[in-house]
Structure 1
Amino acid sequence: MIFFNEFKKFKKLMTNPDLFFYDLFRKRLEKKNTISIDSDVAGIKEPPVMLLDQERLASRGVLAYLEEALGSRSGVKDGFDSTSLIIKKNQVELALALVDAVRAVHAMRVNIYTLDGRYVFKASEKAFGLAKGFSKPLSTVSDFVMELSGDNNGDCTVIHFFVGDESCSGGMVLRSDNVWIRRFHPGEFGKGYNNRKAEPRVEPIDAVYTWVDSRDPEWKNAWQREFPAKSYDADRYSSHDELRFSLRSLGKYAPWLNRIYVVSNCSPPEWLSVKHSVIEWVRHEEIFPDPAVLPTFNSHAIESCLHRIKGLSENFIYFNDDFFLGQPCLPGDFFDEYGRAIAYFEQHGLAYPEKISVETPDYIIATKNSSQLLHELFQLRPRRLHKHVPYALIRSVLEELECRFDEAFEATRRSKLRSGGDINVASFLCPHYSCATGRAVSADVKNFTAQPSNIGKLLNYGSVGYKFVCINDGGNSSSNLEYKILSRRFLLERFPEKAAWEVNE
């Protein structure tokens, strides 16, 4: 076997040397150099002695203090984002030393990682020596994320550092391609960002969740009244505290969101303060045009009414409660600079089976029905499913869809459970209709859908390489104890900080 493999490599080298060397170097580049350490091993227990203006630090906050101390600029990715900083290669060590000095005043643990997951560094509140231990590898990367967390509720500062190199002309070039301005001429550093910040911000963006908990007494009674002889699918209706951690991921990685609406026919969980200014609890009765169809247990029906939420922003993001942000996000990850929604479709078209059978999943049936509506309207038949990641939606487009396909909307809303006549508005019909009418564009994103067979890949900060993560249920996974234990480990590892809307328990 070894000889055969070597022969194949030799044959490739002789017949196609370009492909041989491409594969060789690609594999070397893709090999991860993950370093996960508790900084106690660095042997440094005391912070560096530095002059620290504690009064200014207290009044301005960690990020603004670092920006001033380093002579840096924020707004690196789109000119607006306040959680990013530009630093020169020779400032990486100084930045880490400053962070250690700050941590000596305010006890904070720190996690530092690159978005490709190649480097992961962790330090406890009592461990110092960031500059000594980590500045050398971090000086070689294009950008890295730092998370500083204390013991107080919601006390987490996320900073995205972008590293630049000084050019021979005296200017600076940022290494990352994922920035608004990459090249600065001498004397121009920061000017573009300062002007950009003076521009008006885009309109607010809300988040919407649908949530259910089969343990809720009201929900149980409603199910038993409607289906006295039928048991419910635990995978679909059970709650394992995913909503708490999904909301934490928004507070941590998308603090720019305006309001968060949770649509449910259950009582709010005890840990959630619905009186918080950001949170709005929405009952099904408030959004269904015909209350006679309630109660409903059909997510397709509920999703067909999301645009009817009172006060909802024109642009909003729809989350399932098992969706989690895995990296810092910006509005540009969901809506482009022209206001178009960004749709993250799967790479292959698998959504239009020729025949429907009893084994065909209900979401595929709804997809085929939705695809047929679009075919009748545009003479195209979309087949690509949206990835299992947050959905960027436009309220006026959904209103337009309801007018065009009112019968399909009504039929879906009348179905108390998923049925053969459903359409899936949020996850298929709207994204494809928006693309067809120029209100959306498709893009790709690195995401991870966890299942019992692969959940271990997320642990020990293995999730930092993904923009979006989904802890998916299906195939009786809700009763898989090991899956639930590992899922909980991941959630506590990545989102340990309480959000501002959580009640102290």
Structure 2
Amino acid sequence: MSKDRAYPIDFVLPWVDGSDPAWRVKKAKFEKEESSSVHVFDYQDWGLLPYWFRCVEKNAPWVRYIYFVTWGHIPNWLNINHPKLKIVKHTDYIPEKYLPTFSSHTIELNLHRIPGLSEHFVYFNDDTYLLKKVTADFFFKLGLPCDSAVINPIAPANKECIANLMVTTTGVINENFFKRKVIWKNVWKWFNIRYFPLVFLNLMFIPWKRFVGLYESHLPTSMMKSTYNEVWDKEYRLLDATCTRKFRDFKMDVNQWVMKNWQIASGKFMPRGIRCGKLIAIRSVDDAEKYSDIIKKRSYPMICINDHITDETYLEAAKIIKTAFDIHYDEKSCFEL
């Protein structure tokens, strides 16, 4: 822990091995009973997980612990004896009535129950990476999570997409907070030059009585356990219903965005620029070639590599991305055997 910070910060990384035979058998059993919003590419392994650990070791050596959340499977290359690594199984923290679960939403919404997890933690998806060196105050300042408060209208691409989660999440925020009070109580946090040019969206939507949505960057999120406890207390029925479903359902669920947006609406955050990271969607080999330069040049502190390839060409795309990572992260980390 640095001398200028009186609290530890942990990283949390959920991961699933979609090729695990035992897991697949159990998943198939419940798939017959329940519909889901799972895509064919959700369990593809691009072989990029080692780079996640390499990036953290080089770019955030100050992190206290990494909580690696798993159904039970562990990569055979992972050094489970690393002093900063904590292996957490679903059964270690998710209430028994929600198990087994194959929903990322259930895994996310119960993170505050992980034994030993610090009040301040950063939630990563396994497709998000730290490309540049960052200090602890990149994620937390004055004990508050860093984030961007930008009003952004929800525009679902289709009736089955993840944007439907934003609709429900926005409803939760509007039920519990008054938009104008929220903004005027923390004016400088909402009208902040760090959000340029998106700050103009906040000006544009001032006349609206309610929030029409909040900007989601699809990047690692700074969280506080106390926020989780508060939201569970206020919205137990919704969160319980989400967690009861074995598979995620975009039309009915909420996910960790409800925690993120609750922190923003309650003013418990510090402004951070929107150029803190970049979401790239890879739908083809050409996309992999196009966006690999962002990784090679480390153009942003953080990146999300959102894969959407539905056929075997994902292996070729993965090779291109690995080659890009190897420019700066070709050496094994201490988290690897």
**Ranges in structure 2 where 5+ consecutive residues have no aligned partner:** 180-210
* 2:329 pairs with 1:498: no
SS at match of 1:392: strand
For 2:312 and 2:168, how far apart are their aligned partners in 1?
29
> Which of 212, 218, 230 pairs up with 2:16?
212
* 2:301 pairs with 1:467: yes
For 1:342 and 1:200, how far apart are their aligned partners in 2?
17
Give the match for residue 476 of structure 1: 310
State the 1:286 CA deviation.
1.5
What letter corresponds to residue 431 of structure 1 in structure 2? K
State the 1:485 CA deviation.
1.9
Q: Residue 344 and residue 245 in structure 1: after superposition, are their counterparts in 2 closer, same or farther (change >3 A)?
A: farther
For 2:86 and 2:11, how far apart are their aligned partners in 1?
10
For 1:382 and 1:318, how far apart are their aligned partners in 2?
25
Superposed structure 1 runs of 4+ greater than 4 Å apart: 228-232
What letter corresponds to residue 279 of structure 1 in structure 2? L
Give the match for residue 91 of structure 2: 285
What letter corresponds to residue 449 of structure 1 in structure 2? L
Q: Residue 465 and residue 352 in structure 1: after superposition, are their counterparts in 2 closer, same or farther (change >3 A)?
A: closer
> Which of 169, 181, 198 pairs up with 1:370?
169
What letter corresponds to residue 172 of structure 2 in structure 1? L
Give the match for residue 183 of structure 2: none
For 1:448 and 1:490, how far apart are their aligned partners in 2?
16
> Which of 328, 349, 371 pairs up with 2:152?
349
Give the match for residue 437 of structure 1: 266
What letter corresponds to residue 244 of structure 1 in structure 2? P
Q: Residue 438 and residue 478 in structure 1: after superposition, are their counterparts in 2 closer, same or farther (change >3 A)?
A: farther
**Ranges in structure 1 where 5+ consecutive residues have no aligned partner:** 1-79, 82-198
Q: Residue 461 and residue 317 in structure 1: after superposition, are their counterparts in 2 closer, same or farther (change >3 A)?
A: closer
> Normalising by the residue count of structure 1, what TM-score does the alignment of the two structures yield?
0.55
Give the match for residue 5 of structure 2: 201
State the 1:240 CA deviation.
2.0
Q: Residue 461 and residue 484 in structure 1: after superposition, are their counterparts in 2 closer, same or farther (change >3 A)?
A: closer
Residues 212-264 of structure 1: CA deviation (Å, up to 9, x unaligned): 11111221121122125999633112222222111110001000000000111
Contact 1:276 1:501 in 2 (8 A): yes
State the 1:446 CA deviation.
4.0
Question: How high is the sequence identity, in percent, across the aligned residues?
Answer: 27
Give the match for residue 324 of structure 1: 129
> Normalising by the residue count of structure 2, what TM-score does the alignment of the two structures yield?
0.81
For 1:352 and 1:377, how far apart are their aligned partners in 2?
22
State the 1:478 CA deviation.
6.6
State the 1:382 CA deviation.
5.1
Structure number with the bigger relative contact order (C-alpha 8 A, sep ≥ 6) is 2
SS at match of 2:86: strand
Q: If you compute each CA radius of gyration, which structure gives the higher value, 1 or 2?
A: 1
Residues 158-215 of structure 1: CA deviation (Å, up to 9, x unaligned): xxxxxxxxxxxxxxxxxxxxxxxxxxxxxxxxxxxxxxxxx55331100001111111
Q: Residue 462 and residue 241 in structure 1: after superposition, are their counterparts in 2 closer, same or farther (change >3 A)?
A: closer
For 2:313 and 2:288, how far apart are their aligned partners in 1?
15
Give the match for residue 44 of structure 2: 238
What letter corresponds to residue 11 of structure 2 in structure 1? A
SS at match of 1:209: strand
Contact 1:204 1:315 in 2 (8 A): yes
For 1:300 and 1:367, how far apart are their aligned partners in 2?
13
> Which of 422, 426, 440 pairs up with 2:253?
422
Where do 1:152-301 residues align within 5 Å?
200-227=4-31, 233-289=39-95, 291-301=96-106
Q: CA RMSD in A?
A: 2.5
Contact 1:362 1:418 in 2 (8 A): no
